[in-house]
Every structure is written in C-alpha cells, then in structure tokens.
Amino acid sequence: MRKILCFLTFLIIIAICHGQSIKAAAEQQKKQESLATKYQLSLDVLLKLLESKSLMHVNDFLSNKGWFYESSEGISTVWIFPNNEFGPAKGIFIYFKITDFINAIVYVTNKQHFMRIETETKGKGYVKTKSEVSDNGDRETIYKNQKYSITFTIRNSEYGVFICNTKDIENFIQQSE
C-alpha cells in the first residue's frame, strides 16, 4: 500500500511539473506574440501621431512601445523597432516637422501589417485617387479624404506608408509661392 501511495505521489508531482512547464511555454509564446506585434501601429495611432505638435509626445509614445530613437536631421526624426541586435529593423517611423503646425510621417513595416493599414484606410471611407505600378513592379497607391492623404508604396520589397494633412500641405505650398 505504501508503494502505491509513493507511486501516486510521484505521478502527481510529474503531472504538476508537466502542467507548470506547459503553462510556462504558453506564457512564453504569448510574450513572443506580444513582442511580434508591439511595434505595429494602427491607422488611428498613426493619425494621432501625425497630429501631435510635440516631438516629445511622439518620442514618449514610441519609446513606451519599444521603439528606439535613431537620429534627427533637418526636419526629420527617425525611430526604429529592431528585429534583434544584428538583424534589420522590423519597423521604421519618420516624423517630419515641416513647420510648427505642419507634420508628415512615414511608417515602414512588414507586408502583412502594410496590407492591414491599407484595409483600414479603405474601411474608413478614403477614396483611391491614384494607383500606379512601375515597370520594375514598384507600386504607389494614394487614398484621400477631406483631411488626409495616405500614400502606400512598395519598393524593393519594402512597404511604406506616408501620411500628411492635405489642407496643411496645400496651404503651405500656396504661402511659399
């Protein structure tokens, strides 16, 4: 009887340990999935960042999402989301501060997320105003609504989204002439 109790105790311990390792594996997978999508920015987030007049706000937001400040030059500031220490970046975010009131952004991401943002854009009622495919396969598609212009570009297997406030840019160009 004692041997049976010892054997049952042994089986229970193995079951508990196995259950804990399954739980740990599930938690690790969930953490990896979270990191895999942490850098992805939705269309709504991109538009909020575009409208931000504070470079510090943009930096704080991106830093909290795991992005790293890369550089500033002239009117542009660049952040990257690294793939790992040695690999290429998973994402690139460029914030252009053209004047105190006019901003533009470029967001480079992977194909799946690029397509998701394009689908979001169509779903929000933006109208396609231009779509071109070059001889070498590069693609540029522009969507507009009353306020924003969103350009989706595929070049050399890189997927970029450029967003600006259409009226602000038009007014700036007219004032510059």
- Residues 76, 145 share a domain: yes
- Residues 156, 75 share a domain: yes
Q: Is 169 helix (H, G, I), strand (E, B) or coil?
A: helix
Torsion of CA 129, 132, 138, 139, to 10 degrees: 30
- Residues 7, 54 share a domain: no
Number of separate domains in the chain: 2
Q: What range does the domain containing 84 cover?
A: 39-176
Structure confidence at residue 167 (pLDDT): 76
Structure confidence at residue 38 (pLDDT): 66
CA atoms within 13 A on the CB side of 41: 32
Q: Could you tell me the CA-to-CA distances from 51 to 58, 69, 86, 171 in Å, in that order?
A: 10, 19, 33, 16
- Residues 31, 68 share a domain: no
C-beta separation of 120 from 109 below 8 A:
no
- Residues 74, 31 share a domain: no
Structure confidence at residue 37 (pLDDT): 58
In this prediction the pTM is 0.74
Structure confidence at residue 41 (pLDDT): 92
Ranges of the chain whose pLDDT falls below 70: 1-39, 83-88, 101, 169, 172-173
Encode 44-76: b = buried (16+ Cβ within 10 Å), e = exposed: eebbebbebeeeeebbebbeebebeeeeeeeee
- Residues 170, 120 share a domain: yes
- Residues 149, 107 share a domain: yes
- Residues 58, 34 share a domain: no
Beta strands (DSSP E) in the chain are: 68-73, 76-82, 89-97, 103-109, 127-133, 139-144, 148-155, 158-165
